[in-house]
Amino acid sequence: MNLRVACATDDGQDLINRHFGDAEAYLIYDVDDENFEQIKEISNSTEDDHDDETEEHADPEKARSIKELLKEEGVQVLLSRQFGPNIKRVRKHFVPVVAKKFRLVDAVRMLKDNLDLVRHQWEKEEERKHIVLDGKNYHRS
């Protein structure tokens, strides 16, 4: 079973070092046990929906918008260096994976190498926890 992964990026090369929902774009990958392939790049259209001065931290509307945007693309896994408080909302619909690798391709490769763990969390549905991959070990929260 392959998984569809959305990677939070601003430049297409690196994962952002901010909350997942603050990315300018998401690179969408299909990942299976043998390979990973970038299939699409989508702009984060939710980012401009709110005025930064009035946006509340952990805005449920922002979480809903991101969920709708990525579900439309068939995404199952979210990959970033950081997630904000909305992680509690999005993990009902996705497996959030925190990668301690900055280069996007290295983080996707690390996710591929731990695909069984990610699949296991995906199967838990609304009981999902996020995963932290640091290159040596994994940690479930």
Under a CB-based contact definition with an 8 Å cutoff, are residues 135 and 100 in contact? yes
**CATH, residue 79:** 3.30.420.130
Under a CB-based contact definition with an 8 Å cutoff, are residues 129 and 95 in contact? no
pTM of the model: 0.89
At 70 the three-state DSSP class reads: helix
- For residue 50, what pLDDT is reported? 44
DSSP 23: -
Q: Provide the residue range defining the domain that includes 98.
A: 3-140
Which residue carries 């929906």 as its tokens?
49
* Number of structural domains found in the chain: 1
Give the lowest-confidence range in 24-38, 54-68, 119-133: 54-68
* pLDDT tens string 35-73: 999 999 999 988 544 444 445 567 889 899 999 999 999
Exposed e or buried b per residue across 83-121, where buried means at least 16 C-beta atoms within 10 angstroms of its C-beta: bbebbebbbebbbbbbbebeebeebbebbbebbebbbeb
